[in-house]
Amino acid sequence: MPAAPLLSRSQMIRLRGLSKSYGPLKALDGLDLEVRRGELFAFLGPNGAGKSTTIRILNGITRLDTGEAFIGGVDIRRDPLKAKRLCGMVAQHTSLDGELSVAENLEIHGRLYGMSREDRRRSAREHLEYVEMADRAETLVKTLSGGLKRRLMIARALVHRPRLLFLDEPTVGLDPAIRRRIWSLVKSINRDGVTVFLTTHYIEEAEFLADTVAFVNRGRLLETGPPQDIMGRLGSWAVDTFEGGEMKTRFFRERGEAAECLRGLSESGSLRRVNLEDAFLSLTGRRVA
């Protein structure tokens, strides 16, 4: 992917005491968060946890009530347009113009970001090649499949060469094969130096992609760290059983211990690896999805 100038600060995102309320509802309650430049960061939580509000504040759509928010060292409150130019956004719902061609959708995006005609057309060609859609430049967007539309939204978000890419549920509604292709694309974008901020309800997506995950619930940060470290605090193996009308899970460091427990149970059960959902449940009692 075309290179962009590197930012001087090691922190791409820095939030301190971020708070936001909608009437009596407190969406964010003193949220502290740091995302390092160049990492693939997964922001996880159940519906209503504060994920969307955080992304809206970082993208300049919603104003924070109190606290500090910086992107690449830029204060979002003082210079929201400068901060916004550092970011690309791929929303959960398709926001392409179906009556325009693939190339025209990218052309409009480049104009909105003040790019010269030569630069926006060159960048559009480069990024369509990057998402393997160069042969679709003149295709009307309304005729594209769901997977192609998602790839086009990613290309569009990259046209102005941001240093930070927000991906909000990038694979929702896609079949498993297309989801895997999007995963590969996201990994490639990150390897090329773009910091990626991912929200997803597919827990295995975060487990596979992310360098760092953060669990948020009721507007507060609960836990952050590499996925393997967070899962490792519970153990490596889990035994699930159905007891008294509900699912119960026991955690073990060694597979042999878990297997021995399973053999000694009077109820039927299953043995599996610990996952990120286990970690979130242990912290909140709620599932991510």
**pLDDT mean over 84-105:** 94
Predicted confidence (pLDDT) at residue 245 exceeds the cutoff of 90: no
Q: Is 93 exposed, middle or buried (0-12, 13-18, 19+ CB in 10 A)?
A: exposed
The predicted structure's pLDDT at residue 87: 96
Check residue 3 and give its pLDDT: 46
- Helix, strand counts (H, E) of the chain: 10, 13
C-alpha–C-alpha distance, residues 93 and 137, integer Å: 21
The predicted pLDDT at position 58 comes to: 95
Q: Is the pLDDT of residue 7 over 60?
A: no
**225-236 pLDDT, tens per residue?**
999 999 999 999
Query: Is 103's pLDDT higher than 80?
Result: yes
Structure tokens at 120: 């926006």
Name the residue among 168, 156, 161, 52 with its Cα closest to residue 101.
156
Residue ranges of alpha helices (H) inside 91-237 are 102-112, 117-130, 146-158, 176-191, 203-209, 227-232
At 256 the three-state DSSP class reads helix
Contact 66, 17 (CB under 8 A): yes
Phi-psi group of 246: left, alpha or beta (phi > 0 → left; psi -120 to 50 → alpha; rest → beta): beta
Give the strand pairing for 164-168 and 87-90.
Answer: parallel
